Amino acid sequence: MLFLPAARRDTELVSPAAFEGLDDLALWQGPVAGGTLKGVEHPPARIRVEMLAHRRIVLVTDAAPATSQPLPAREAMKKRVLARHFARVGTTETHGRRVDVYVRKRS
Protein backbone atom coordinates (compact mmCIF):
# COMPACT_ATOMS: atom_id res chain seq x y z
CA MET A 1 0.00 0.00 0.00
CA LEU A 2 1.07 3.57 -0.67
CA PHE A 3 -0.22 6.94 0.40
CA LEU A 4 0.02 9.82 -2.07
CA PRO A 5 0.64 12.33 -0.72
CA ALA A 6 2.19 10.89 2.43
CA ALA A 7 -0.20 13.04 4.46
CA ARG A 8 -3.02 10.71 3.37
CA ARG A 9 -1.55 8.24 5.85
CA ASP A 10 -3.97 9.97 8.23
CA THR A 11 -6.62 7.72 6.68
CA GLU A 12 -5.01 4.73 8.37
CA LEU A 13 -4.96 6.53 11.72
CA VAL A 14 -8.72 7.06 11.47
CA SER A 15 -9.59 3.54 10.24
CA PRO A 16 -6.74 1.18 11.21
CA ALA A 17 -8.85 -1.98 10.81
CA ALA A 18 -9.33 -1.22 7.10
CA PHE A 19 -5.57 -1.52 6.58
CA GLU A 20 -4.89 -4.73 8.49
CA GLY A 21 -2.66 -7.08 6.54
CA LEU A 22 -1.37 -4.38 4.17
CA ASP A 23 2.26 -3.29 4.22
CA ASP A 24 3.03 0.41 3.89
CA LEU A 25 5.72 0.23 1.21
CA ALA A 26 7.07 3.75 1.67
CA LEU A 27 7.10 3.90 5.46
CA TRP A 28 10.51 3.77 7.12
CA GLN A 29 9.51 4.81 10.66
CA GLY A 30 5.99 4.88 12.02
CA PRO A 31 4.50 7.94 13.71
CA VAL A 32 5.82 7.12 17.19
CA ALA A 33 9.38 6.25 16.11
CA GLY A 34 9.45 9.05 13.54
CA GLY A 35 8.01 11.65 15.89
CA THR A 36 5.42 12.85 13.34
CA LEU A 37 1.76 12.09 12.66
CA LYS A 38 2.54 10.61 9.24
CA GLY A 39 5.82 8.89 10.14
CA VAL A 40 8.98 9.08 8.05
CA GLU A 41 9.19 7.63 4.55
CA HIS A 42 12.12 5.89 2.90
CA PRO A 43 14.27 7.85 0.44
CA PRO A 44 12.89 7.84 -3.15
CA ALA A 45 15.25 5.12 -4.42
CA ARG A 46 14.17 2.75 -1.63
CA ILE A 47 10.49 3.49 -2.31
CA ARG A 48 11.08 2.47 -5.94
CA VAL A 49 12.73 -0.81 -4.87
CA GLU A 50 9.85 -1.58 -2.50
CA MET A 51 7.23 -0.83 -5.15
CA LEU A 52 8.93 -2.96 -7.80
CA ALA A 53 9.11 -5.90 -5.40
CA HIS A 54 5.29 -6.19 -5.51
CA ARG A 55 2.82 -7.31 -8.15
CA ARG A 56 -0.08 -5.31 -6.72
CA ILE A 57 -0.24 -1.93 -4.98
CA VAL A 58 -3.15 -0.28 -3.23
CA LEU A 59 -2.88 3.51 -3.44
CA VAL A 60 -4.73 5.85 -1.07
CA THR A 61 -4.98 9.40 -2.37
CA ASP A 62 -7.36 12.37 -2.46
CA ALA A 63 -10.65 11.99 -4.32
CA ALA A 64 -10.23 15.43 -5.88
CA PRO A 65 -6.94 15.99 -7.69
CA ALA A 66 -4.59 18.33 -5.89
CA THR A 67 -3.57 21.57 -7.49
CA SER A 68 -0.52 21.25 -9.66
CA GLN A 69 2.46 22.07 -7.48
CA PRO A 70 5.95 20.66 -7.71
CA LEU A 71 5.95 17.26 -6.02
CA PRO A 72 8.49 16.30 -3.38
CA ALA A 73 10.95 13.65 -4.65
CA ARG A 74 9.26 10.79 -2.76
CA GLU A 75 5.83 11.61 -4.17
CA ALA A 76 7.21 12.07 -7.68
CA MET A 77 8.90 8.65 -7.46
CA LYS A 78 5.65 6.98 -6.44
CA LYS A 79 3.81 8.52 -9.40
CA ARG A 80 6.62 7.72 -11.85
CA VAL A 81 6.88 4.04 -10.85
CA LEU A 82 3.10 3.59 -10.94
CA ALA A 83 2.84 5.17 -14.39
CA ARG A 84 5.76 3.25 -15.86
CA HIS A 85 5.38 -0.19 -14.30
CA PHE A 86 1.77 -0.58 -13.14
CA ALA A 87 -1.75 -0.39 -14.56
CA ARG A 88 -4.76 0.77 -12.54
CA VAL A 89 -7.39 -1.96 -12.40
CA GLY A 90 -9.84 -0.61 -9.84
CA THR A 91 -10.95 2.59 -8.11
CA THR A 92 -13.22 3.35 -5.18
CA GLU A 93 -14.01 6.74 -3.65
CA THR A 94 -15.19 7.28 -0.10
CA HIS A 95 -15.09 10.09 2.45
CA GLY A 96 -12.92 12.35 0.27
CA ARG A 97 -10.37 9.64 -0.45
CA ARG A 98 -9.77 7.53 -3.54
CA VAL A 99 -8.42 4.01 -3.32
CA ASP A 100 -6.82 2.70 -6.51
CA VAL A 101 -5.60 -0.83 -7.11
CA TYR A 102 -2.64 -1.23 -9.45
CA VAL A 103 -1.09 -4.40 -10.90
CA ARG A 104 2.28 -4.81 -12.58
CA LYS A 105 2.30 -4.42 -16.34
CA ARG A 106 3.59 -7.35 -18.33
CA SER A 107 7.10 -6.77 -19.61
Query: What tens digit of pLDDT does each residue of 10-44 get?
Result: 888 888 898 999 999 999 997 767 777 678 999 99
Q: Are 100 and 61 in contact (CB under 8 A)?
A: yes
Model confidence at 92: pLDDT above 90? yes
- What count of Cα atoms within 13 Å lies in the side-chain half-sphere of residue 102? 22
Q: What is the pLDDT of residue 49?
A: 98
Record the pTM: 0.89
